[in-house]
Structure 1
Amino acid sequence: MNAKELHDKTPDQLREELVALKKEAFNLRFQQATGQLENTARVRQVKRDVARVNTVLNQKAAAAASEA
C-alpha cells in the first residue's frame, strides 16, 4: 500500500484500515511468539503501513482544522 492510495480514502475508511492493520500486527506478533510465523518481513511491512495510515490521518485532520 502506498501513500497515494491512502490519500484517496476518506478518514472513516482510513480508520477501518488502521483497525485491520493493527489486528494483523497483533496476529503476526502472536504467530512470531509461538514460532509459527513464516514471513517475518510481513511484520515490518505492517508496522510501516500502520505508520502511513496514521500519517495520512493526521495530515487530513490538520488540513480540516486549517480550513475551519
Structure 2
Amino acid sequence: MKTAELREMSVEELKAHEQKMREDIFHLKYQLAMNQLEDTSKVGKVKREIARVKTVLAEK
C-alpha cells in the first residue's frame, strides 16, 4: 500500500491495518522457520509496511 493511500485512512483504520500486518508477519516468520515460505523477501516487505503505518500514525 502506498503512503498516500495510508494518509487518507483514519487513525482507527491505520491501527487495524497495523494489527493485521503484525499478524501477517507472525505467520510469515512461522512459515520461514518451518521452511514453508517460498518468497523470503515478503518478511521484509511486511516490516516496511508496518514502518510506513507507524510513520503516518505519528504524523497524525
TM-score (norm 1): 0.86
Q: CA RMSD in A?
A: 0.5
Distance in 1, matches of 2:30 and 2:49, equals 18
Q: What is the Cα deviation at residue 2 of structure 1?
A: 1.1
**Residue 35 (str. 1) matches residue 35 (str. 2):** yes
Alpha-carbon distance in structure 2 between the residues aligned to 1:9 and 1:53: 10
The structure carrying a bigger helix percent of its residues is: 1
Q: Which runs of 4+ in 1 moved over 6 A?
A: none
1:1-68 alignment runs, 5 A limit: 1-60=1-60
Q: Secondary structure at 1:30's aligned position in 2?
A: helix
* Identical positions, percent: 38
Max Rg structure: 1
The code of the aligned residue for 2:8 comes to D
In the alignment, the residues of structure 2 paired with residue 41 and residue 29 of structure 1 have an alpha-carbon distance, to the nearest angstrom, of: 11
1:41 shift after superposition: 1.2
User: How far apart in 1 are the matches of 2:8 and 2:53?
Assistant: 12
* Structure 1 residue runs without a partner (length 5+): 61-68
